[in-house]
Chain A
Amino acid sequence: MFRKALVLAGVGALALAATGCSSSKSASSGQADSGPVTLTYGIWDAKQKPAMQEIADAFHTAHPNITIDIQLTPNADYWTKLQTAAASGTAPDVFWMNTPRVGLYAGQHQLLSLSDKPGFDNSPFPKALNDSYTLDGKQYGMPKDFDTVGLWFNKKLFDAAGVKYPTAGWTWQDVISAAQKLNDPSKGVWGIASPDWTQENLFNTMLQAGGQAITPDHKKSGFDDPKSLAGLQYALDFITKYHVSPTAQQMTDTQPDQLFASGKVAMFADGDYDMPEYKAAAGLDADVAPLPAGPDGKKATVINGLANVIYAKTKHPQAAWEFVQYLGSKEANEIQAKTGTVIPAYNGLSATWVASTPQYHLQSFIDQLDVAVPYPVSKNTAAWTTPMQTTLDQIWGGKVDLTTGAKQIAAQMNAELAKE
């Protein structure tokens, strides 16, 4: 779902730039608001609205003169609407932001820098998340939640094949041999699903192999690194060499998460955010382990997460800052944690989230924080993710060979990054 949204971001980037909506500092930053104020708060996930409402109500109780008006726009249209409103000066006072787009919005001066605010403290949040929302030394987002990726597995299929469950000590080789034992074409069961999804699969395997999608300074592509190539090869081998994963075509017809939820796939690397789907799946007895280590014992997962940002043209910068500060407080994160939909960004609160769904070892997602690497972004992320995904689709579909395709991605990416 996230991948589709990325494609749209490119269009958004164009419109935002075309309208020349730069400059403009907020009219009255620092001024205290007198009298009652209503802040609009833009969010995109219906599932999280109840938790956001609870936080807004708690904030209102503490600040009776500030009312929060939550505006829910579905994820698919959120960015179209935001880009139109931002270009016209009418975006919500506070809204959700994600890592691939923060560079664009901050670069166009649409967001207030939080680093300039008195009392801003980012120490309660994972460093990788703070880094993702920092541009030229200034942080623009108050981290809201985060997600990492784990190896989901179907306990019933493992038991039936007599294979031991994945553990934190697993390596690539363990996954390959388990997948070969679990694969049972006569029953329509695949050992693993290895799609060309980046956040859930390829970005992680590239890191585990010692490579990377982008250099830490966000200036060069890592796709031409032989180690990155080894990571891609490992993921592709499940389809072309071992024949234990559905093909790209089959995973286009039916999404791999649906195949896993239906018991057709024994293992699947997926984010914590698909947990509610697996929880709702009838007859699925699953659990989750940390991702396996690469050939040199390297463990890694990308970490991604949302943040709350303040619109640069808000009429109530002081009230908006007070609200964002509250959104980043322990209290607000506790409310998020209890609902179990997302992992709160606030360090040390994950236990509440883990306990919310005791049937899964959700701790696996938290334990990987030590090896978590920020989700690869640059100033204009969408400019290179769209062609990257197109080429990956061609490689997975067997139309382009891996080495050629990876070189092509690196060249396209470097050309786009040079423009930044």
Chain B
Amino acid sequence: MSYRKINIWTRLDWTTLIIYFVLIIAGWFSIYAATYDLENKSMVDLSGRAGMQMIWILTSLAIGFSLLMIESNWYEIFASWIYLIIIILLVITIFVAPDIKGSRSWLVMGPVRLQPAEFAKFATALMIAKVMSVYKFDIMNFRNMTLMLGLIGLPIVLILLQKETGSALVFMAFFFVLYREGMPGGILFAGFAAVLFFVLAIRFDTMWGLTPVGHFLVLSIIVLCIFGLLYSSRKRNENVKFLLYACLGVIALAGIVSLFVPFNLVWVALGFIMVASGYLFFLFFKYRTTAYLWIVVFAVLSVGFLYSIDYVFDRVLEPHQKIRIEVALGIVDDPSGAGYNVNQSKIAIGSGGFFGKGYLNGTQTKLKYVPEQDTDFIFCTIGEERGFIGTITVLILFAVLILHLILMAERQHSAFNRIYGYAVACILFFHFLVNIGMVIGIMPVIGIPLPFFSYGGSSLWAFTILLFIFLRLDASRSDRL
């Protein structure tokens, strides 16, 4: 522990700070553009969204400054308390929050409205950093794993109860952190595969001749994965080659046959997986390498998962829940709903071209074709008015920020700092991934804000706190030890 007076300003990571400033200022201008109208002239007019965002920016800077002034080890000391307080706030919110646009996540105190879910991110990050930084912490220990899942799962459940599905999903970002700290990569891979299979199976429920497209896609991916995994853990190269040729031959044959005699191609893929599994068993007994067995487990579980999706979706879920998932995945289009919005947002971005239409000259976003244009869909405004130049600049700024944060996390001497740093990077990355992916039509519509850009006091404050705590930790990384 050190109490020596340090000059925080010389040790601060200015790269991060400058990117932060650029992003919030660009966000402010974008919000002004998104809500711009002839009658509404001033950017600092407090009755407009841009004026309010200015207030949020100024208060955020004050918050950020205060956080830098706090002794760095306090964050670790008080992590559990912060987490506890936020959890209590989340519980209270469920009961007292008024219904605003279908979600019960706003805590209204006089003129101030806060969304505790936003603040739960940094609180949880501090908490898991504290728990995991214990000496000799091993994530693969069953007790530890359960504890971690509990700490991450608790806010997720509470936020889901507030009907803020998007914010709850953000906590998935912590699995990247767990991966960095020793969770097997297979879990990350399995999670990714599960999401992918679910989306594909539900999204493509059309028929292609006698073949259900979604199933066929998923099964094909499983086959590809088997090859990939086999290739990476192979003992003999020629085994894989033989299987690959056989597979390609069979598929070509099946394709030709199905042109004349239509049949369900799923059977071909299933048959192939069975043959491959049998072959892998053979390899397992031959070479006694468990990797082969794991590939079989993956294949069997994947196929089982695929067929249980259908069962759950058709039998277990209520019709309105089904509709909600279908809308979120863009299967069901309604004019005021998901499909239309994404289409409009793609048109707005696409119409920007290379250079954009010029600041405040956008028509698509202002015509109110794009919904939530100053919050979740703010990226549209940049795309339309600043063009490809603007969008890649924002993309690169985020990429640099996230990668820089990862490198910063790696240079920390204490496990607490490192884990917290990774959590910051991963949360920002998750927001970036989902928000921009949604706006450009790659991800399903999940309403979460674009960090530093989207209008809103709670989210800007929360991201500022998240980032500045790490800046403070980083500034005194060499003090201890």
A and B form one complex: no
Which residues of chain B have a CB within 8 Å of any CB of chain A? none
Residue positions of A touching B, CB distance < 8 A = none
